[in-house]
Amino acid sequence: MDFSKYEASANDFIMLDRTSGGALTGADEASRICERRTGVGADGVIEALPSQQCDLKMRILNADGSEAEMCGNGLRALFLFALDRGLAKADEMTFETPAGPRRVSVVGVGPGGRQFSVEMGEPSWLRGDIPVQGPADAEAIDIEIRLGSSVVEATCVSMGNPHCVVFVDDLAAYPVQSVGREIECHPMFPQKTNVEFVRVDAADRMQARVWERGVGETMACGTGTCAVVVAASLKGLAGRSATVSLPGGPLQVEWRERQVVLTGPARHVFDGKTVG
C-alpha cells in the first residue's frame, strides 16, 4: 500500500488516496499502521475519497481504529496532500466530513510552513449536541464531573465532535494523562470525549494540552483548540480571537458570528509503501 505521511502542528497522519477506488481501511489495519513501534506511526489515518457534494470527502480513523467526525489539523494536512497529488487545482477546497462540509484555504507562509485556514463550523455548548448526559437543551458550562473522590469543573463544546475543556492554573504539573483518560470514558459522555486542559495567559493568549479520544495525549488538536477559545470566551476568560500554544506549536482561532476559523501550518513528511 502506497501512503504519504503529513503533519499539522505535530499531529501526524497517514494519507491514502482513494479517489480512484480501492478498499477502505479497516479499524484493525488503521490501528496496526498507526502503532509507533511496529507500524508507520501516526495519530490517525486519513483517506481522500470522491464526494458528490464537495471537492473531496475526508474519512479519518483514530490510532485505535475508531472513526472521528472531524479533525481541523487533519483537514489542513489533507488539503496539502490534495495539492501535492494534483487533486486540488486552486487555493481553496471544500471537504465533506461526517460533521458537515468544511472549507479550507491557503493563506500564506508563516511559522511552521505554509498556512491554511479551515472554516470549522458553528460551535454548540448544549448537552444534547455534544453530547453530555442531562437535559438536551441545557448548557454545558461549568459542569461538575466526579472522578472518584474528586470533582473537576469543565465547560463542554461540540465542534462537530465532543470536547470537554478544563481550566487549570499549572498546566505543566497537571495530571493530564490520568485525568484525560478518566474523563474520555466517563459515563457523562455517551460517545466519549476529547479533553483539553488550558491555562489562560491573557485575553488573546492561552496554553493547552490535549487528550484525544481514541488516541491519548497528542501534540495538538484543531477542533480542540477551537473548543478552547469558545469555552474561554463563554466563561469571560478571553475574547473571541486568540493564539493557543500547544506542544506542537501555536494555532490561531477566530470565533466569528456563526463560524469558528482555525489557522495553522501543514507539512509533507515522507512517502512510503507498507509491506507484509
Which residues are marked as active site? Answer: 71, 221
Find out whether 188 and 164 touch, Cβ atoms under 8 Å: no
User: Which among 166, 157, 223 is positioned nearest to 197, based on CA atoms?
Assistant: 166
